[in-house]
A and B are shown apart, each in its own frame.
Chain A
């Protein structure tokens, strides 16, 4: 597909029918939390879009973000990302290596100066002048500053690029920071998660192509369409929370009945992400459906948040708390009351087989 061709031209040439495209847009609109009726308008705009150049730089990362995207359901919705964009540099996926690869990067940056989308996964090491993480003899810090100059927008993919992630966890030996700690003069979208949900990146790119702008962001720079609500608010076990029905251990009656995992350390109430609706593994399920609480991987410093199996304090008034959470974002996590310590202790005492402390190691 050449760069002048529109997305619809390309799809028609590939033998894709209009209905297939409409169906794709309906699914995408659903994922982007747009009203279902927006699909037709979206199909029209997206069909006319020309694909942008994308440069993808990997820094202090584990390639989990790339895995998340590439192992998702090709040739379905997320697979279309490769039709929507011209991915000009991606070390893990590209065939070129060494000087050829570096040349591809510099050509893409020069030819599309001011227009390309820069995707970064991994945090940026700042210790020892960035020497902890280098590509082709240059530090990540240096590369980021150079590539950011000509970027129209930057996508910080994954919790490491968005917030520092695991490299930044205590004691942060490499001086890891987020992309937004270094670059201050470009629009940055944080797509957090460890790894992030593949359709979120497709959604952000589709939004950029459909509307020509970046989607609306929350206080932490994340697209509201996907991070606008907590896992808790969209959880199918939420009604049990409202009824006060909680699993007290991983193997009690409540756990078997699929009750709320709040008291087993679920971070759903303070975690903003779309897992409960988009789900994982080709839309099979998400962690809570497997009987495990949310670990809050799309929130800053989740690794140092005090233990995956430690219960959040129970809010004094759940409904009021939910309203506040929707209004002020993640800060509401700090606002939960510490009132219900007694029930937490009772929950701990109810353990006979597996102790919370066993799981916290």
Chain B
């Protein structure tokens, strides 16, 4: 058998796979930012639904850069959310419990929706904390 190195595969530089589609995504992000500023309406782009090549994705990530905030979400797998170098533009990547990417979005908002806790969850947390406090006070009295 021939060695694997003899198989004539040419490695291409990523630039050769650029299709120009990512530029269109950038201008959509700009429109969504304008809308957020004017009306406060949040926007979102589903990156998985777009025909982007791997090089396009890298290009887009590179252009958007990294900002100051990074959030890790442990909910049915690890999700990562980070603010890009453009304030209000977030890259959201959801993964399942086996670390596979299940969806990817660009979110244009003050804070990504999934980060904010639901009202019912806060109510529940308040109740739990109160009952925990009660128990701690009781234990203190018994001592």
**Chain A bound to chain B:** yes
> A338 interface residue, CB < 8 Å from B?
no
Which stretch of B42-50, B62-70, B134-142 is in the interface?
A: B42-50
Is there an interface contact between A26 and B21, defined as CB atoms closer than 8 Å? no
CB distance from A79 to the nearest CB of B (A): 9
Q: A26-B94, A36-B44, A277-B48 are in contact. Are A236 and B19 (CB under 8 A)?
A: yes
Instruction: Tell me whether chain B's interface is mostly helix, strand or loop, or mixed.
Output: mixed
Is there an interface contact between B114 and A22, defined as CB atoms closer than 8 Å? yes
Q: In chain B, what residue has the closest Cβ to A75?
A: B97
Instruction: Tell me whether chain A's interface is mostly helix, strand or loop, or mixed.
Output: helix
Is there an interface contact between B75 and A23, defined as CB atoms closer than 8 Å? yes
Is there an interface contact between A26 and B103, defined as CB atoms closer than 8 Å? yes
List B contacts of A258 (CB < 8 A).
12, 17, 53
Is there an interface contact between A76 and B44, defined as CB atoms closer than 8 Å? no
Residue total for B at the interface (Cβ-Cβ under 8 A): 39
Q: A16-B76, A256-B10, A256-B12 are in contact. Are A23 and B94 (CB under 8 A)?
A: yes
Give a binary string over B124-142; 1 marks a CB under 8 Å from any A CB, 0 the rest.
0000000000000000000
List A contacts of B10 (CB < 8 A).
256
> A92 interface residue, CB < 8 Å from B?
no
> B40 interface residue, CB < 8 Å from A?
no
Is there an interface contact between A257 and B44, defined as CB atoms closer than 8 Å? no
Report the separation of the CA atoms of residues A42 and B123 in the bound assembly, to the nearest whole angstrom. Answer: 23
Is there an interface contact between B105 and A73, defined as CB atoms closer than 8 Å? no
Q: In chain A, what residue has the closest Cβ to B19?
A: A239
Interface of A with B (CB < 8 Å)? 16-20, 22-24, 26-27, 30, 33, 35-37, 40, 73, 75-77, 233-236, 238-240, 256-258, 276-277, 282-283
Task: Enumerate 9 A-B pairs (CB-CB under 8 Å) in ascending A order.
Answer: A17-B121, A19-B114, A20-B75, A23-B76, A75-B96, A234-B49, A234-B51, A236-B19, A239-B51
